Amino acid sequence: MTGAVHHDRRRMLGGMTAIAAVCAATTPWAAAAALLPTPPQTSGPFYPLTFPLDSDNDLVRVGGHAKPAGGIVAHVAGHVLDLNGRPVSGARVEIWQCDANGRYHDPRDDNPAREDDDFQGYGRTVTATDGGYRFRTIRPVPYPGRTAHIHFKISGQGIDELVTQLYVAGEPRNASDGILNGIDVSARERVIVRFLPAPEIEADALKAAFDIVLGDAS
């Protein structure tokens, strides 16, 4: 990786602190109120069989690649909390999603679309002491049979593993997506988030705040 790419990556990851600050100011744990759990969702068929060599929280830049991923850059950040609004530190947060062409980096994906080798497709991080996490990825796109979404898995010592999905507010295919509409309306509201312009983080990028509440959703 060239020095210019190293500099670019450091600058972008450093800029993600801006969205983390926004989330810290608005996250519900500050009110110490009882919260509703984030509903579980299927992991789908494309949780990685093998993990990419580069599995950090920047999915837009792959180590050793000169070009960034195609698509609209999106900074996704939030907190992992318990039902009492307390931050869960040290939780492992994983995400995976299709590339801008609607293709997963998975041999089981038979979508004929061209695969974007410059998109990492999978990333992971660990929550900070305030429960915070952040990723630099792309705005998810629909693909045959599904609306736009990002898969999340939260796990760790003493944590009941949660697999869920993040959806994009205003996405037309939300109304017909069977997995999203398989949960009740109030639960849907907890997994559909707005993607907003984020010029303060990165030119032409978006940001989304997604807090994840662990607990029994039954």
Q: Tens of pLDDT along 43-93?
A: 999 999 999 999 999 999 999 999 999 999 999 999 999 999 999 999 999
Which residues, 6 or more positions from 7, have their beta carbon under 8 angstroms from its beta carbon?
none
Mean of pLDDT values over 145-164: 97
Domains and CATH numbers, the chain: 3-213 (2.60.130.10)
Report the pLDDT value the prediction gives residue 217, as an integer from 0 to 100.
55
Report the pLDDT value the prediction gives residue 22, as an integer from 0 to 100.
46
Q: Tens of pLDDT along 18-54?
A: 555 545 444 544 444 589 999 999 999 999 999 999 9
Cα dihedral sign for 200, 209, 104, 61?
Answer: positive
**Rounded to whole angstroms, how far apart are CA atoms 64 and 60?**
12
Query: How many residues are given for the chain?
Result: 218
Give me the chain's average pLDDT, please: 89
**Rounded to whole angstroms, how far apart are CA atoms 211 and 19?**
13
**Rounded to whole angstroms, how far apart are CA atoms 81 and 77?**
13
Report the pLDDT value the prediction gives residue 216, as an integer from 0 to 100.
75
Closest CA to 38 of 24, 46, 47, 28: 28
Q: What percent of the chain has pLDDT over 70?
A: 84
Contact criterion met (CB below 8 Å) for 48 and 95: no
